[in-house]
Structure 1
Amino acid sequence: MTSHHFCLTGKMSESDIDKLRRSRESLVYTATRETLFAQETTHSKTHALSLDWVSGVNSSLPVYILQDHSQLVFLYAGAHVGIIYNHTSNSQHLLQGHCSPISCMCVSEDRRWIGTADQNKKSTVILWDSYSGIPVHTLFDCHPNGGVIAIAFSGDAKQLVTLGNERCVCIWDWTNDCHEPLWLTELRPEYGYQNYVIYNPNNSTQLLSSSESQVLFYSTVSSGTFDLYCETHKLAGGPLSPSVFHWREFRILTPSRAGVIMVWDLTQDLDSNQRLSRDHVKIISLQEHPITVLTVVDNCIVTGDTRGHVNFYDENMLLLTWFTQLNLDPIVSISFSKEFEREYLEDGTLDTKPVLGRNFVVSSSTSAVVHVNMERSTWRVLLQENCDPLHAVACHPKQPAVAMGNCSGSLKIWDYRQKRIVCRTVLEKEKEICCVTIDPQGRYLAVGFASGAVHFLDANTLQSDPKECFDYPPDSISHMSFSHDSRYLATADVGKAVTLFRMQQPQWIYLGRYRSHYKPITDLLFGVHQDSSKPRLFTLGVDRLLVEYDVENSDVGQVVILSSKRLEQSAVPKCMTWYPPLSSEEFLVVASDQYKMKLFNSMSKTCRKTLLGPTYGSPVKKIGILPTSENNESGSHYMAYVTEDKVGLQILPLDGNPYKSQAVVCHPTGVSAFAYSHDGLFVFTAGGPDCTVLSWQISYSALEGAAALGGKELEPYYTLLEGGRNGEFYREIEDFFYYCQIHNQGLESMETRQLSPKIPLTELPSLMRALAYFPTEEEVEDMLNEVKLGQYTETGEYITDINLAELIKLYINHRPAFGISAEELITAFEVLGEPGGPAGKPVLDRDRMLELLQVRGEAMSEDELAECFTGLFGLQEYTLESVIPEKISIEIFTHHILGLPSSSPSLTPKKGHKGSEQQLDDD
């Protein structure tokens, strides 16, 4: 808290009073134009991952100039983030708050307030203060049936209009903290897809919206209603571009893609839902090329067209000036500065004639942003960002540089410390870049293309030798990796094959291609032999196979396979990496689509540990162990990962503790690739269709702090049990645990019971099934080996028992993360059954079901089947015909056989069902 000095009389001085008053005022109230970038931005250490920079622009949204006096500041959007960019200091302030891509933006006339909105089932509108970057108001679920597609401030910025995808127009009094619209009106389908809205800057009771064929005019009348007053219709060829109000007259100006401007004359006595006649419109053929943008400023009409030209006209449509050498593609937006380049002292100048005194910013459909100085008639490119889907990103192993490649063949090296592009090139021959990687020495940058080609470039200059451009594989490259000694490069393609290259001085040579999987390859990884410096190469596939290659014995025309091991029964492995040396064993950690992470011995390929992975809406699809950094005070190891739309960090060793992991939304439309810096301080994510790369700064102390708040020992695991530590389910675990001790000593024994804190491992399978987790025989074996071999490498002895704490951890890590869903059961019936049930639903013959249980998967014997059905129905003797109908539907199987409740979303036995309570006795 700021201290204040008092004078000798005991009273505060006027300056002290002013300081105290300012300290009590809000940051928004005291902010000025210089506040936002007055000092360098320092990221809060309260988050494990803080967004540091956004590389890329949403080219479909406008760019707004906010300041153009002492510093040049403008606003644009990238993915789900609004970016206030200070070109003068080359710094960004990021407006974060949306969980979906920003669909529309607006700024107030005085450039003080910013509005951003997204288009999702739960749409959000956020109002920001541009001086401080603080969100001042948020509208939640304002258009729940499709989101917001257009937004605009009134001239005095006191009202906000939103246009929803569900054909609803709402006006909000956002300055009074209202959460319901002041007015709203619903549009009829015949009005077309309205996707643009704007206020009359001179009259906050009037606004218009437009589609490609119609323009609608609205007014809030004195009765307090909000009505659609008139409708215009297309009179000229070609679709319409967004319209504007005339600066003085009661008119609407509508540009056409045919180069025509239509002037609609409105009258004050309009009737609701009236269609304007042709007598109210004047058609002016302005130019040959289609007009994409129309705006008005200082009594001027300004147009942007498909050629990238900007033209200024007076009220009589006479050409005043033009800019035809901007070298832009079709214009998307034109935004004028609020400041004049020079002072205009003549009284009434702006009211009598056009004044060309404001600088402006132009954006194009290819993400170029250009600043034009009107007085000097000069321009400069402010941004030239990615405008095509971007799927390739890789970090330099020794320098603060990251490589990015997009689908148009554009490749650049970006310095993430200086925030500048080091070098750039366009690979026009192959075009679509799918992945990039840099060798551990930092000399070569390998580029994989959709055509299957592989090019080797200089990692510092992006220069290439034609002799090191290979076009052998016919399928798109999906993965690339260099060996630790930079002697080999391996690639995987969508043709389920692996290609191997070798450095044979002075150039790279092609060894061969081998189709080692029968389903798509999900990951490719190089490693090093424990007893030598020879490289090891692995691939992982949807076919659940882990394939190892004999790299050293592979030669020109021959890629040699060393081994192939099936890792999973039902889960699909998504990615893998080398586990840090936290024990004497060498492990590969593999993440699957069932939210599990498994540690496999790298030599025997046997599963040594199963752990619950991050559960943030979608499974982990890429992982990597972060290098040790200077700010890593704890000395721990960390893992970075991405899911479908999030990026996260995990503290190692893996143990299933949910508090040791954090994740944030990075690309709502999907993450295509990620990379991490050589110093372990940054993570970079590529967004694919959103055409952006996001730079995330890491705070290990924040991650460790969050983990500590989760509790010690078993406290984090109790939160994953239904009811927690004091819940009924935990008491059941205790009861079953002590029952296992009695069961092991003999149920009918009359001797004094010897209570122990542990139970034999032989009781573990029955206990797990009693807790409604039904592992397969292979999963049981993995579970027993995990406990039995837990300390074997350290002590050389097997563990034969387990205590309650270890049991709880084992149960949480091995059981299905979200149970077995009803959708999985429906899918199984659709695959195995035949139509014949009610409403054509699939059914399964009783004999067919018994046959499948005895011949498929882990086949069961007749005795095992009899034992299972006896336990399920609680019968000592039975015949299948008496308890199971001949035709089995999903409902019969779920409710009658398994005993699940009728509304159960997952296959968890209901309370009191024999399938759980009798399991221990029957086993």
Structure 2
Amino acid sequence: MSDVSEMPTEDQLSWMESGGGQSETKGGGQGEGTGVEANNEDAPGQGFNMAPGSQVTDQTHSAEPVDLRQSQVVTATSLDLPNKSKSDRTHPLTLDWAFGINHSLPVFSLQDHERCVILYACSHVAVIYDHTSNTQHILQGHCNPVSCMCVSVDRRWLVTADSGGESLVIIWDTYTGIPVRTLFDCHPEGGVAALALSHDTKYLVTVGAGAVQRVCIWDWTRETDSPLWVTELSPKLRVQTHVLFNPADCMQLLSNSEKRVVFYRWGEGSLRSSAPAISDKTFKRVVGLFSQSVFNSGGVQAYSATSLGNVLLWVQERGHSTYKALRLIPLQAEGITVLTVIERFIVTGDARGQIKFYDENLKLINSYSEFGLDPIASVSFSKECPPSGSKGYAVDCTLKAEPFVMRNFIFSTVTARVAHVTPQGNVAQDLLMEHADWLGAVACHPQQPLVTTGSHSGALKVWDYERHQQVCSRVFQKHPKVQCLAYDPRGFYLAVGFASGEVCLLDACTLQSETEDCFSHTTHAITHISFSRDSLYLATADAGKAVMLFQLRSTEGRQRWQLQGRFQSHYHPIQDLLFGEQLDSKLPCLFSLGLDRRLVEYDLQNSTEGKLVIMQEMRVDQSAVPSCMAWYPPLTPEHFLVIASHPDRMKLFDCTTMMCRKTVLSPTRGSPMKKMVVLPQTQDSKSRHMAYITRNMVGMQILPLDGNPYNSNMVLCHSTGVAGLACSHDGRLAFTAGGPDSTVFCWEMSATALEAAAALGGKDLTPFYSLLEGGRYGAQYREVEDFFYYCQLRSQGLDVTEPTRVSTHISLSEVPFILRAMGVYPTQQEMEDILNELKFGHHAETGRCATELDLPELIRLLVNRRSMQGLQHQDLLQVFKVLGKPDASGRVVICRDELLELLQTTGEHMTQDELALCLGTLLSPDPEEGSEGRHWEDVLPVPREITMETLLADILGLSEATGGIQASSDADGSVLKKN
């Protein structure tokens, strides 16, 4: 295979580095079926400037020429990625290392002459891994999982694409790691399913992942927004998952699905395709499912491999550019998973882990079958040819038994194993052996730089995260699905919870265990596992909504773990499990938090063998759903338990009285927080910090919690969702487990960078002004100010003739009125929590209870208490589906009498007079008349069957808006506005 014959010119490289990377596809010519005329109009490009490893944005600017003498892309002559100094971190969270691999995508060999360098995908990033120096260079730019990737013949250019919303195609320079071109949303129907570069690297073909696949051919070195040629494929051709250019003619290419192979020819004003029909009747033999297709080195023939070990031979018809099926060859007994061409050889990888070399007549030349592998996923050959006169090669399978001289190559398997094979000496060296299944269990050693990961494949792997080396591993065969992990505080034990309900306690150094240290007391999956601070208790929570407690006891001179009891303490799934210490006795205590909004404390001292005793339980919220909890650091004289709730609140509860003492806006901005870890104090910062994860992000927060939006920072960590979080014992690194992407990311946290970024947001109230519409001088701030001073007038009396006394404070009794005037409608319990927060906010420091509130405190309270999403249409619709019944027309309605009864008896009870007063105020044309003592028919003049439209328009006076519900009039001060 020869090197690239035509490379981008210096002018083209200049444009690419100056920002020619944005190319938002407007769509070429499209039509029905195949052989569609394409629109070949070039449009002026937009500039896009992106630094290495930065996140892609949609900001554009005009392209400007750059000095080629300063261009890293032009001046780079070999693979020489820059070293990133850890002391120069400018971001609070920096991706430092990626553990894992996307085993469904190919692994490419970039270099192995002096260094062994490979390229592979890992979740939504691409990783250039130098095995020789044990270093990684991570290419970040996608916000969806990488769905396909390819490299140029000389390994200089890498193309990655993703599937999903706002998909991207990015062309990277592998020598420098710089993205030189980005195609934005070129397949908006669902992203990219397959792509390939032409042999001369000038052209790029992309195949969409939508229901109707589009095939686009791009000249990526030109400044254009549109593809050169576009055609649509019929859904009858199935989903095309593999595409390839003809190495001898870049105007020809092919693609295949499991059932059909499509050949393309572009030029002369059109992109035409043909898909010869093939079935089991064609050759009177079962064909099987197509895996991959390739052209031979001359480009006049093509081969398609199948799952039954057959190879279908295609030949180009004379005088035509189309191909026809000539012969179905039963090549081998094993299904072929990989098919590629290198020089004069055709190479296959099969389901039994064998790699075989055939000549162009499909005669077996050599075979590698002694590795004992799982099915082959990819094979990639080195770009360096073996030196002439080399010795030490094994002989081939022919009668002549000649030396088999071949390039070194990389192969990967479906079990996430990557190995480097040197034919000279017939040696295979393992480069990577990663998890190949769902990975959600991650835990860090409390004293050493070790992180342990566990997956549903039953594998446990312990890594030294400072040296980036695997220390030890173990594979469980009986109960393979590892769900959760935890080290005890002393670092002696590693507890493992399985999906089968079994709990095993392993030696933290050897990962071995005794038979009596494995417990199976439930058939429900273990979801949480935690040790007490003295390492004497172990608690687990399972999918059966129950908590199990184990205690370490000395029996017969040996310490053994024994079951204390199991209790189903929740009626909804358990969200978190946490040990703590009693403030007076320092004895361990245990809490569990459920989706049922209940916090349960267990009495460990009075729990006997076989019986787990509950000490107390409380409801932590009336409407929000709690998601996780943690012990708040001792920043104040009081001790708090912090609980995060969906969607955007965090509450601090006093550890002694369990009173809600503070409620602040969550740093996740509406995304549910799944786990949080308070970090130990570092030497370079006087503040305390907290790490947390949301649905697909990892974040860092400055403590104490106050709702300041600039005190936190979040970055995308796993586009398919985060399943686990663990932090190193020194608080410097955070590890996130990606679940379905089989990946663990290591993030370096910089407290200095986070505090510097927070300082840019301003001091005192400045950050909170940004959360008000219009900021400090906007209409919403003036509205708050007007209500603040109106409350002073109202408390002094509106009909007095004496001069009004203006103050900087208002009484706490006015807080409920001003909050409701601003559109915050707390329940009675929530209002009691607010008043307790204001009254006892500084009681621990001053010993006095507050009776007044100033304007800055009111703004903080308003920002932290108001809903970020407002009242949503779908929320009301769900309520009506639960409480109401469908009428004859299918509309969901609620009977008027049932609605009135629910308002009086469910939730916080209302008396008949209170309900009459509220409804009379809403519906009476003259609210001053009052409603006390009036009949329901007079107070509620609406039909007996109430629909959602009736409730919104006639009772509440609200109108539906896109994405939310807003007030039809501003007179009532409602802020139920559009989301």
TM exceeding 0.5: yes
1:908, CA displacement in angstroms? 4.1
Answer whether contact 1:612 1:817 (CA < 8 A) is retained: no
Which position in structure 1 is the counterpart of 2:596?
Answer: 543
Answer whether contact 2:386 2:405 (CA < 8 A) is retained: no
Which position in structure 1 is the counterpart of 2:919?
Answer: 869
1:344, CA displacement in angstroms? 7.0
Task: State how 1:683-762 maps to structure 2 within 5 Å.
Answer: 683-762=734-813
Q: Secondary structure at the match of 2:837?
A: helix
Answer whether contact 2:919 2:940 (CA < 8 A) is retained: no
Answer whether contact 2:564 2:610 (CA < 8 A) is retained: yes
1:881, CA displacement in angstroms? 6.4
The amino acid across from 2:899 in the alignment is: M
1:34, CA displacement in angstroms? 3.8
Residues in 1 aligned to 2:866 and 2:97: alpha-carbon distance in whole angstroms: 39
Which position in structure 2 is the counterpart of 1:303?
Answer: 348
Q: Secondary structure at the match of 1:111?
A: coil
Q: Secondary structure at the match of 2:767?
A: helix
Which position in structure 2 is the counterpart of 1:35?
Answer: 80
1:552, CA displacement in angstroms? 2.0
The amino acid across from 2:522 in the alignment is: P
Answer whether contact 2:243 2:253 (CA < 8 A) is retained: yes
What TM-score results when the alignment is normalised by the length of structure 2? 0.88
Answer whether contact 1:43 1:50 (CA < 8 A) is retained: no
Q: What per-residue deviation string (whole Å, max 9, x for no partner) do you get for residues 237-294 of structure 1?
A: 21011100111141111112121111111136447xx7x65xx412222111111111
Which position in structure 2 is the counterpart of 1:857?
Answer: 907
Residues in 2 aligned to 1:397 and 1:23: alpha-carbon distance in whole angstroms: 51
1:26 aligns to 2:76 (yes or no)? no
Which position in structure 2 is the counterpart of 1:213?
Answer: 259
Residue number among 124, 130, 140 corresponding to 2:184 in the alignment: 140
1:343 aligns to 2:383 (yes or no)? no
1:126 aligns to 2:164 (yes or no)? no
Answer whether contact 2:873 2:960 (CA < 8 A) is retained: no
Q: Secondary structure at the match of 1:756?
A: coil
Answer whether contact 2:728 2:734 (CA < 8 A) is retained: yes
Which position in structure 2 is the counterpart of 1:454?
Answer: 503
Answer whether contact 2:449 2:728 (CA < 8 A) is retained: yes
Residues in 2 aligned to 1:68 and 1:299: alpha-carbon distance in whole angstroms: 21
Q: What per-residue deviation string (whole Å, max 9, x for no partner) do you get for residues 696-720 of structure 1?
A: 1111111111111111111111111
Which position in structure 2 is the counterpart of 1:73?
Answer: 117
1:847, CA displacement in angstroms? 2.0
CA spacing shift, 1:803–1:779, aligned 2, 3 Å: same
Task: State how 1:160-199 maps to structure 2 within 5 Å.
Answer: 160-166=204-210, 167-199=213-245
1:51 aligns to 2:109 (yes or no)? no
Residues in 2 aligned to 1:902 and 1:534: alpha-carbon distance in whole angstroms: 54
Which position in structure 2 is the counterpart of 1:906?
Answer: 964
Which position in structure 2 is the counterpart of 1:763?
Answer: 814
Answer whether contact 1:336 1:361 (CA < 8 A) is retained: yes
1:43, CA displacement in angstroms? 7.4
Answer whether contact 1:435 1:478 (CA < 8 A) is retained: yes
Residues in 1 aligned to 2:972 and 2:609: alpha-carbon distance in whole angstroms: 63
Residues in 2 aligned to 1:902 and 1:535: alpha-carbon distance in whole angstroms: 52
Task: State how 1:381-780 maps to structure 2 within 5 Å.
Answer: 381-505=430-554, 506-616=559-669, 618-630=671-683, 633-780=684-831
Which position in structure 2 is the counterpart of 1:204?
Answer: 250
1:819 aligns to 2:864 (yes or no)? no
Q: What per-residue deviation string (whole Å, max 9, x for no partner) do you get for residues 468-502 of structure 1?
A: 11111221111111111111111111111111111
Residues in 2 aligned to 1:904 and 1:799: alpha-carbon distance in whole angstroms: 42
1:317 aligns to 2:317 (yes or no)? no
The amino acid across from 1:858 in the alignment is: E
Which position in structure 2 is the counterpart of 1:258?
Answer: 308
Residue number among 122, 132, 138 corresponding to 1:94 in the alignment: 138
Which position in structure 1 is the counterpart of 2:399?
Answer: none
Q: What per-residue deviation string (whole Å, max 9, x for no partner) do you get for residues 390-434 of structure 1?
A: 121100000000111111211111100000111111122221111
Answer whether contact 1:230 1:270 (CA < 8 A) is retained: no
Q: Secondary structure at the match of 1:766?
A: helix
Residues in 2 aligned to 1:65 and 1:383: alpha-carbon distance in whole angstroms: 13
Q: Secondary structure at the match of 1:464?
A: coil
Answer whether contact 1:299 1:354 (CA < 8 A) is retained: no
Which position in structure 2 is the counterpart of 1:83?
Answer: 127
Q: What runs of 5+ residues in structure 1 fail to find an aligned partner?
A: 1-20, 346-352, 918-923
CA spacing shift, 1:270–1:894, aligned 2, 3 Å: farther
Q: What per-residue deviation string (whole Å, max 9, x for no partner) do you get for residues 451-477 of structure 1?
A: 111111111111211121111122111
Answer whether contact 1:872 1:915 (CA < 8 A) is retained: no
Residues in 1 aligned to 2:106 and 2:963: alpha-carbon distance in whole angstroms: 45
1:792 aligns to 2:843 (yes or no)? yes
Residues in 1 aligned to 2:443 and 2:819: alpha-carbon distance in whole angstroms: 44
Residues in 1 aligned to 2:112 and 2:185: alpha-carbon distance in whole angstroms: 35
1:107 aligns to 2:156 (yes or no)? no
1:721, CA displacement in angstroms? 1.2
Residues in 2 aligned to 1:743 and 1:808: alpha-carbon distance in whole angstroms: 20
Answer whether contact 2:648 2:669 (CA < 8 A) is retained: no
Residues in 2 aligned to 1:581 and 1:881: alpha-carbon distance in whole angstroms: 53
Q: What per-residue deviation string (whole Å, max 9, x for no partner) do you get for residues 523-561 of structure 1?
A: 000011112221111010011111111112222112121
Residues in 1 aligned to 2:348 and 2:726: alpha-carbon distance in whole angstroms: 42
Q: What runs of 5+ residues in structure 2 fail to find an aligned partner?
A: 1-65, 391-401, 932-936
1:783 aligns to 2:829 (yes or no)? no
Residues in 1 aligned to 2:918 and 2:686: alpha-carbon distance in whole angstroms: 50
Residue number among 269, 280, 294 corresponding to 1:224 in the alignment: 269
What TM-score results when the alignment is normalised by the length of structure 1? 0.93
1:872, CA displacement in angstroms? 2.2
The amino acid across from 1:419 in the alignment is: H
Greater Cα shift, 867-876 or 848-857: 867-876
Greater Cα shift, 447-456 or 335-344: 335-344
1:237 aligns to 2:266 (yes or no)? no
Residue number among 329, 332, 335 corresponding to 1:290 in the alignment: 335
CA spacing shift, 1:887–1:263, aligned 2, 3 Å: same
CA spacing shift, 1:117–1:41, aligned 2, 3 Å: farther
Q: Secondary structure at the match of 2:680?
A: coil
Q: Secondary structure at the match of 1:29?
A: helix
Question: Identity over the aligned pairs, expressed in percent?
Answer: 50
1:174, CA displacement in angstroms? 1.2
Residue number among 948, 955, 958 corresponding to 1:897 in the alignment: 955
Q: What per-residue deviation string (whole Å, max 9, x for no partner) do you get for residues 286-343 of structure 1?
A: 1111111111111111111111111111112221111111221111111011102323
The amino acid across from 2:770 in the alignment is: T
Which position in structure 2 is the counterpart of 1:920?
Answer: none
Q: Secondary structure at the match of 1:739?
A: helix
Answer whether contact 1:457 1:464 (CA < 8 A) is retained: yes
The amino acid across from 1:103 in the alignment is: S
Q: What per-residue deviation string (whole Å, max 9, x for no partner) do you get for residues 792-839 of structure 1?
A: 1222211111111110110111112211211111111111111127x5
The amino acid across from 1:78 in the alignment is: C
Answer whether contact 1:336 1:360 (CA < 8 A) is retained: yes
Which position in structure 2 is the counterpart of 1:921?
Answer: none
Q: Secondary structure at the match of 2:252?
A: strand
